C-alpha cells in the first residue's frame, strides 16, 4: 500500500506505519548484508530507510519476534508474535490509535496476503483495536476513546495471484508462491471496494522497496517475472472497506478518504 501513502501524502495526509516484528527469522538475500544474529537490527534500519522514501514520519515497532512461515519451528518460539497475548497486542495498538488519531486504518486481510502467520495475527489484532480504541470502557488507562472513521483490508486481488501463479507454473518454478492457491489466498475481487491507480508512484514505490535489501534476491522467481506483468501487478492497489462510521464506499469512487470529515 505504499502507493496509497504517497498519493495521500501529496494531499496533506499524515501517515504512520506499525510493524509488529522485525522479520528476524526471514531469509537473507545476500550473506554480506546480515547474519541470523543481527537480521532484526538490519531490517529495522531497512524499514526506516523505506519509510523515509515514502515520507512516513511515524513508525512504530511492537517489539515482537518474527514467527516465521506457517508450519516452521519458529512458530513455537515463546517470543514469537503469534504466541503473544492478544489482549496485550490489542492494547499496544489501542495506545497508538488513541495517540495518533488516524481517520483511516489499513491492515492485512484475513489471509495475510499469502498466509504468513504474523500477517494474519496483525489483521486480527488491528481489527479488534479499531473497535476497542473507540470504546472508553476498554483500556481506560490508555487515554480517551477515539473512533477512526474507516477500517480497510489491503491484499493482492485473487485475479492477480492467479495470473502470477500461472506464469510461475509455466516457467516450471517450484517455490512457495507457485504453490499458492488463488481460491484461498488474497482478496476475492468481488470484495474490493477501492482500486487505487498508483502508476504515477511506481518509481518511488520501487525505490522504497529497494531499501529492503536483505529481502531482494535477484535470483528469485519473482524477480524474473516479465516487466510488463510486474507493471500490471504493481500499478494498482486494492482495498476492502470492512467497517465505516461515515457511510459505504461508492463503486468507482476509489478513495480511501471518501466522506471522511
Q: What is the pLDDT of residue 217?
A: 82
Tell whether 232 is covered by a domain. Answer: no
Torsion of CA 109, 104, 6, 241, to 10 degrees: 40
Tell whether 231 is covered by a domain. Answer: no
Q: Are 256 and 194 in contact (CB under 8 A)?
A: yes
Distance CA 235, CA 255 (A): 16
Q: What is the pLDDT of residue 177?
A: 60
Q: What is the pLDDT of residue 178?
A: 57
Tell whether 65 is covered by a domain. Answer: yes
Q: What is the CATH number of the domain that holds 199?
A: 3.40.50.10320
Tell whether 214 is covered by a domain. Answer: yes
Q: What is the pLDDT of residue 175?
A: 56
Distance CA 150, CA 148 (A): 6
* Number of structural domains the chain divides into: 1
Q: Is 17 helix (H, G, I), strand (E, B) or coil?
A: strand
Tell whether 97 is covered by a domain. Answer: yes
Residue numbers of the domain that contains 107:
2-156+190-219+237-244
Q: What is the pLDDT of residue 181?
A: 77
Q: What is the pLDDT of residue 205?
A: 95
Q: What is the pLDDT of residue 209?
A: 94
Tell whether 27 is covered by a domain. Answer: yes
C-alpha cell at 204: 518511488
The two most distant CA atoms of the chain are separated, in Å, by: 56
Q: Is 90 helix (H, G, I), strand (E, B) or coil?
A: helix
Tell whether 76 is covered by a domain. Answer: yes
Q: Are 82 and 73 in contact (CB under 8 A)?
A: no
Tell whether 152 is covered by a domain. Answer: yes
Distance CA 168, CA 171 (A): 5
- Mean pLDDT of each 10-residue bin along the chain, 261 residues long: 96 97 95 97 98 97 97 97 98 98 97 93 98 98 98 93 79 63 86 97 95 88 76 92 97 97 92
Distance CA 229, CA 188 (A): 20
Amino acid at each position: 500500500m505504499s502507493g496509497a501513502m504517497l498519493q495521500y501524502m501529496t494531499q496533506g495526509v499524515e501517515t504512520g506505519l506499525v510493524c509488529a516484528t522485525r522479520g528476524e527469522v526471514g531469509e537473507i538475500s545476500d550473506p554480506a548484508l546480515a547474519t541470523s544474529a543481527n537480521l532484526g537490527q538490519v531490517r529495522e534500519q531497512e524499514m526506516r530507510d523505506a519509510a523515509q522514501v515514502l515520507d512516513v514520519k511515524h513508525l512504530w515497532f511492537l517489539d515482537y519476534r518474527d514467527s516465521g512461515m506457517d508450519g516452521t519451528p519458529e512458530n513455537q518460539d515463546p517470543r514469537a508474535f503469534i504466541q503473544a497475548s492478544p489482549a496485550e497486542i490489542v492494547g499496544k495498538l489501542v495506545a497508538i490509535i488513541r495517540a495518533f488519531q488516524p481517520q483511516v486504518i489499513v491492515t492485512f486481510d484475513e489471509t495475510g496476503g499469502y498466509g504468513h502467520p504474523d500477517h494474519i495475527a496483525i489483521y486480527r489484532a488491528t481489527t479488534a483495536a479499531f473497535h476497542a480504541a473507540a470504546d472508553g470502557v476498554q483500556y481506560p488507562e490508555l487515554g480517551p476513546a477515539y473512533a477512526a472513521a474507516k477500517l480497510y483490508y489491503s491484499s493482492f486481488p485473487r485475479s492477480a495471484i492467479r495470473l502470477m501463479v500461472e506464469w510461475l507454473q509455466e516457467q516450471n518454478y517450484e517455490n512457495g508462491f507457485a504453490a499458492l492457491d488463488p481460491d484461498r489466498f488474497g482478496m476475492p475481487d468481488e470484495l474490493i471496494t477501492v482500486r487505487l491507480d498508483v502508476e504515477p508512484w511506481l518509481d518511488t514505490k520501487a525505490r522504497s522497496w529497494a531499501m529492503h535489501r536483505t529481502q531482494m534476491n535477484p535470483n528469485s522467481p519473482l524477480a524474473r517475472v516479465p516487466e510488463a506483468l510486474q507493471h500490471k501487478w504493481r500499478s494498482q492497489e486494492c482495498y476492502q472497506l470492512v467497517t465505516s462510521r461515515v457511510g459505504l464506499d461508492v463503486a468507482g469512487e476509489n478513495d480511501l478518504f471518501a466522506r471522511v470529515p
